[in-house]
A and B are shown apart, each in its own frame.
Chain A
Amino acid sequence: MTVWLPLIAKILVAGVFVALLAHLSSALKPKMFAGLLSGAPSVATVSLLLTSLQKPAAVHAGGRGMILGAAGLVACCAVASLLVPKLHAIVATAVGWGSWAVLAFGLFLVVPK
């Protein structure tokens, strides 16, 4: 139970934080400024803060892993930005997710731990 409680707390707090940030983003103008929040460290901030209370050493390792994921996120947003004018947003973001996975896991395999 003690293992699951922090995970449940992370899930609930991260879900609320993402929903609040996304709601704030929908009310911000201009749209390019609102778009910044799509790259906000919403889940990361909550998750790493709660981790730092339990296992401070794990935060550093989490940050190193996140560098690879963040590089994937840049690729995902760039691909989605290129495809959105030509395809539906859901298809563009699905391809973006694919590019995130290729770059993030590709870097994971190549970059020494």
Chain B
Amino acid sequence: MSLRRQVAGELRRERNEKVGIDRGKLLKPQWAHLGLRFGFGAGIALAAGAVGMKWGPYVGGLFLAFPAVLPAALTLMEREEGSSKTDVDALGAILGALALLVFAVLVAAGLNVLVAAAAWVVVAVALFYGLRVALPLVL
């Protein structure tokens, strides 16, 4: 079976899976993974802050949307769950990034940061459910 078919099959399977949380995984953090992710987040905040101090907030803002979470998320998922699930996770990341674009536009328009963050949640979840409904039509 080709990988494309595997991914399509994974998406169809996911469509029937309810959104939820694996409490076992949530309550048993892997400290090495958390440390790696802390490093990515801290590193990007350092880069954005240092660039902002040197060249101003406009240039620093560019780095606030640096893909900090994606590499660790995809690498760890590939190792633990295989490439078809990694591909599906990356599709979700595209939707999250589109919602981030909305977040940035709202902040640039002068909206409060916390309100813009709440808007990110609404837009990201709406895009997820929208794609979930649309995917069976194209696959």
**Smallest distance from the beta carbon of A21 to chain B beta carbons, Å?**
7
Residues from chain B with Cβ under 8 Å of A19 in the complex: 34-35, 37-38, 41
Q: Which of B4, B66, B94 contacts A77 (CB 8 A)?
A: B94
Listed in ascending order, the chain B residues whose CB lies under 8 Å from chain A are 3-4, 7, 10-11, 14, 17, 19-23, 25-26, 29, 33-35, 37-42, 44-46, 48-50, 52-53, 56-78, 81, 83-101, 103-110, 113-114, 116-117, 120, 124-125, 128, 131-132
Asked if A27 contacts B22 (CB within 8 A), the reply is yes
Asked if A84 contacts B83 (CB within 8 A), the reply is yes
Asked if B73 contacts A25 (CB within 8 A), the reply is yes
Asked if A37 contacts B96 (CB within 8 A), the reply is yes
Among A15, A16, A78, chain B packs the most CB atoms within 10 A around the CB of A15
Q: Does A102 contact B (CB under 8 A)?
A: no
Asked if B75 contacts A90 (CB within 8 A), the reply is yes
With A29-B21, A61-B61, A85-B7 already in contact, the answer to whether A42 and B68 are too (CB < 8 A) is yes
14 contacts between A and B (CB under 8 A): A18-B42, A19-B37, A23-B34, A26-B73, A27-B23, A36-B128, A47-B48, A59-B57, A63-B61, A63-B108, A69-B63, A72-B65, A84-B87, A96-B70
**Residue on B with the closest CB to A62?**
B61
Asked if B69 contacts A21 (CB within 8 A), the reply is yes
Asked if A35 contacts B19 (CB within 8 A), the reply is no
Q: Which of B14, B40, B50, B59 contacts A31 (CB 8 A)?
A: B14
Q: Which of B58, B67, B97 contacts A62 (CB 8 A)?
A: B58
Residues from chain B with Cβ under 8 Å of A10 in the complex: 45, 48-49
Asked if A96 contacts B67 (CB within 8 A), the reply is yes
With A39-B100, A58-B57 already in contact, the answer to whether A104 and B62 are too (CB < 8 A) is yes
